[in-house]
Chain A
């Protein structure tokens, strides 16, 4: 940064800004920051996600003041929070349902990026940071779910940590190390608590990089073409501060419906039973935002081995784990799988159709993840899982090669007929 920075602010603000130009930074990045003028409401979900992250950290810090991480005390400390602590029920329901709303916002944000090709050059790293945030969110949400130490908490922790035992040779020692013992027990709970408190701040750090990267190349927009002149952009404030605030208010209304009218609709009743290591609930299901991945995990049902021997190279358990991780990690390579020069699905008639098929497939996988893995559900899961991967490794590369995109407009202001 140049040492010749002269602040344009006056008074105390100016005195500070001259020495530490934070006000200039805010002015440049959130005030006059040139932003494409044609955002639709789908562009609200980045800001909404950030708001949800901050809300989760805020409510989480207060909850932590009332929570005790101990297998004998955790369940009761949560019950006390619900019954005795002032507004404890509200804070907990905000946090519980907040996790769902955070994932909802992030999933919309993610699908928006896929529809409008926001992951394409020059925004690959921005997108990769987003996939990293998703991984961190999944880990954080999973560990948070364990903390109330109900039946689902305990058995979710058991089933998911047991997945690691699928790793050949070192699987079992790794699981013992993760647990800090020979089963999910107090050492597991205390470390999950520590990490559940830590990871949101790591997420915040990566979100900061995500936004910093965004402010280097600027936002994509529904047309998927870069702004070329001032006619194509608006200053971020007041135009998008206002639009984001409006979108956030609508979103918060939905959130409030859950908090106040159906706070447990997205939860599972078995988690109101204290954890019992000697009894498994008859049907273990994760939270809704993990269901598609859970369906993919369970869809791999065969052992791949050397025929006519008992040597198994990839057990069905390991295969499931590999598929599940790949189903998210595929995001890291998406910018290179899709080589079509056109970003927005508006000008990609075939991609647009396949995008919606993919969305439907993801929702179908979510439904299958909630069903018992028996009979017809297994077969449908396998087909849906196969299509999920085919979308990334077959459909997208082939479309990049053979699809004829529609003509792309010359500029944003011409396309939307304004901005003169």
Chain B
């Protein structure tokens, strides 16, 4: 098999045009690459969350029975969500940090207590007592303790992760230990004063 250019492409008495050959080669190659990428996409996308998984991504919870000082854990997207009805003391303890420590010097992931609970409102009524967070330690994904009355709550009376010793305060902010961020706040809305939808 000879590797010289195909004489049929050249008119008699004329050299074959190398630019034309290059153009066809690059165009075909580019088309092939695009085609491969387009074909590959369904394979990659199929591994993402499916429609039924996404359909489960909201959940509604009735908070009517949760007394001040109590907490409940609900499942949302396969993860626990911590809902605590905070006592005035809890809120004061959390807000104290906002006020005294200057630019939140003590906090690794600075957030005021107010921003942590800004979604806890129905109409004009603010309800900073409801602290609603994803109950997954931001270090490596363990579930912190502190939901039950008998649980260890850590040095800041909030939550304590037993895996690697992260301590969260009464606003769910990281205060001590290896976790890099505060406990995440999911998107949620109050449908009534005692009912929420998470997600």
Is B96 part of the contact surface with A, judged by Cβ < 8 Å?
A: no
Chain A residues within 8 Å of B, Cβ to Cβ = 155, 158-159, 162-163, 176-185, 187, 191, 277-280, 282-284, 298, 301, 303, 310, 312, 315-317, 373-374
Is B69 part of the contact surface with A, judged by Cβ < 8 Å?
A: no
Q: What's the nearest-Cβ distance from chain A to residue B133, in Å?
A: 15
Q: Which residue of B lies closest to A162 (CB)?
A: B141
Given that A158-B141, A373-B164 are contacting pairs, would A182 and B178 also be in contact in the complex, using a CB cutoff of 8 Å? Answer: no
Q: What's the nearest-Cβ distance from chain B to residue A386, in Å?
A: 19
Whether the Cβ atoms of B80 and A278 lie closer than 8 Å is yes
Given that A310-B110, A316-B178 are contacting pairs, would A277 and B142 also be in contact in the complex, using a CB cutoff of 8 Å? Answer: no
The stretch that binds A, out of B8-16, B45-53, B167-175, B189-197, is: B45-53
Whether the Cβ atoms of A278 and B140 lie closer than 8 Å is no
Whether the Cβ atoms of B79 and A277 lie closer than 8 Å is yes
Q: What's the nearest-Cβ distance from chain B to residue A47, in Å?
A: 37
Report the bound CA distance from A176 to B50 in whole Å: 11
B: interface residue count bin: 20 to 34
Kindly list chain A residues whose C-beta atoms are within 8 Å of the C-beta of B142: 155, 158-159, 280, 284
Whether the Cβ atoms of B140 and A159 lie closer than 8 Å is yes
**Contact residues of B between 39 and 92, Cβ < 8 Å to A:** 44, 47-50, 53, 57, 73, 75, 77-80
Kindly list chain B residues whose C-beta atoms are within 8 Å of the C-beta of A155: 142
Is B31 part of the contact surface with A, judged by Cβ < 8 Å?
A: no
Kindly list chain A residues whose C-beta atoms are within 8 Å of the C-beta of B139: 317
Q: Which residue of B lies closest to A276 (CB)?
A: B143
Q: Which residue of B lies closest to A158 (CB)?
A: B141
The majority secondary structure among interface residues of chain B is loop
Is B32 part of the contact surface with A, judged by Cβ < 8 Å?
A: no
Whether the Cβ atoms of B78 and A191 lie closer than 8 Å is no
Chain B residues within 8 Å of A, Cβ to Cβ = 44, 47-50, 53, 57, 73, 75, 77-80, 110, 139-143, 162-165, 178, 180
Q: Which residue of A lies closest to B45 (CB)?
A: A177
Given that A181-B77, A278-B80 are contacting pairs, would A159 and B141 also be in contact in the complex, using a CB cutoff of 8 Å? Answer: yes
Kindly list chain A residues whose C-beta atoms are within 8 Å of the C-beta of B57: 182
Kindly list chain A residues whose C-beta atoms are within 8 Å of the C-beta of B77: 181-183
Kindly list chain B residues whose C-beta atoms are within 8 Å of the C-beta of A191: 47
**Could you show 8 A-B contacts with beta carbons less than 8 Å apart?**
A158-B142, A176-B48, A181-B53, A181-B78, A183-B78, A185-B78, A187-B47, A317-B180
Whether the Cβ atoms of B79 and A183 lie closer than 8 Å is yes
Q: Which residue of A lies closest to B179 (CB)?
A: A317
Whether the Cβ atoms of A180 and B47 lie closer than 8 Å is yes
Whether the Cβ atoms of A187 and B50 lie closer than 8 Å is yes
Kindly list chain A residues whose C-beta atoms are within 8 Å of the C-beta of B75: 277-278
Kindly list chain B residues whose C-beta atoms are within 8 Å of the C-beta of A158: 140-142
Whether the Cβ atoms of A278 and B180 lie closer than 8 Å is no
Given that A187-B50, A278-B73 are contacting pairs, would A374 and B165 also be in contact in the complex, using a CB cutoff of 8 Å? Answer: yes
Q: What's the nearest-Cβ distance from chain B to residue A294, in Å?
A: 11
